[in-house]
Each structure stands twice: as C-alpha cells, then as structure tokens.
Copies of this chain bind each other. A is one copy, B any other.
C-alpha cells in the first residue's frame, strides 16, 4: 500500500477493538519515527510516555471528557513538552552532540550562542508554545508511521492536563502534558469507520505562487 492510501485510510478512531493489542513489533518503528522527528535547533523539547498498563489507562479515564478511546485503546502515547530550556539542558545537548559527531566544542560555540540568543528572547509563554509546536511534529510522525503500520490512532488534546500530570507524575514546573495519541485497531462497530474523509477542497487549501 502506498503512503497516500495509508493516510486516506487513517481516521481518528473513536472506539478501538479491545481484544487486539498492538504488538511490540508494530509499536517499535512507530516510536522510532517519533524519535526521528525534526525539531527546531535539534532540541527535542519533549518526552514520549507510552502507557501500556491497563491500570494506568484506567486511572486516566476521568481526565478525558469522552472515555471511549482511552478505555478501549491498546496503548496511550502521552507527549510531554518542556516549559523551559535551562542552561543545564543545553549543556547536556551539546555534550551529546560532541559525543555523537566528535565536533570540537569550539566549533559548536557559535551554534550555542545563537541558541542562547534565540531562547533568551522568548517570553515564558512563547517558549512553552514553541516547545508544544515541536511536539506536534512528533505527533504527526507517530500518526503517519502508525498509518503505514496499519495501526489505528486517535489524537486527543481536550483532556484535564493537571489531572494527567498528577497521575503520570509530571513535574508541572518543568513540563506539561501537551497532547496524546491512542493506538489500537478500529472496532467493527466504530461509527466513524465508514464516514467519508472531509478535507478542504484544493482551491481553498493550496495557493501556488
């Protein structure tokens, strides 16, 4: 199946088939695609939680207005974005670049300066929003890869982020629960399964210049 067909068959599943878990074999490359997502300045200002435990999924149900996906999915991926980029975080990043690429630190000094300069000019809310946007690229990659693996998914953002943070033990000073993605296989009786995909017509979406 080519990737356009895979994306056309993707839709936001409302009810998964509880009986069929996503295998580790299918899950691993999906997560790898998330890992390989591009991020601004390479900073990856996020973490990826993979909730497999039925007990924890159960605990998370009250955080969702509609419990249908969370109570039927195989895995819930929770994307956590950073609220700050501390000097300590950057130090770790540059140490890692130096290890992987063997770049002498003096060559990297200019890049470090430009990052410091860029981040220092962002207000707290702007930095939070910037980190969330990078996290949505990961979300995009996860959904795309899931479609290629014939794994169904449903992105969800309308949850109680504070309750989620509490249950998942997130330090709300440093991080926030940004967005979630349920993975599994569509239930036979998912009402949305047969609906036509709705997208803006090309003439409203695209403009060639």
Contact = CB atoms under 8 A, between A and B. Distances in A.
Contacts of A32: 4, 7
Interface residues of A, number: 64
A143 B49 CA distance: 23
B136 A209 contact: no
Given A133-B132, A198-B101, A205 B44 contact: yes
Contact of A139 (B8, B137, B179, B202): B137
A36 B48 contact: no
A8 B36 CA distance: 7
A50 B208 contact: yes
A17 interface: no
B118 A199 contact: no
B132 A140 contact: no
A50 B206 contact: yes
Nearest to A27: B208
Contacts of A207: 47-50
A33 B4 contact: yes
Nearest to A102: B196
A155 B199 contact: no
A208 B144 contact: no
A32 B202 CA distance: 9
A31 interface: yes
A96 B158 CA distance: 24
Interface string A123-135: 0010001001110
A62 B198 CA distance: 38
A209 B204 CA distance: 43
A42 interface: yes
A138 B199 CA distance: 13
6 contacts: A10-B38, A33-B144, A44-B200, A48-B205, A129-B129, A140-B141
Give 5 closest A-B pairs by Cβ, nearest first.
Answer: A140-B140, A136-B136, A7-B36, A137-B140, A133-B136
Given A100-B196, A101-B196, 7 more contacts: A3-B148, A7-B33, A38-B155, A44-B200, A44-B205, A52-B208, A137-B140
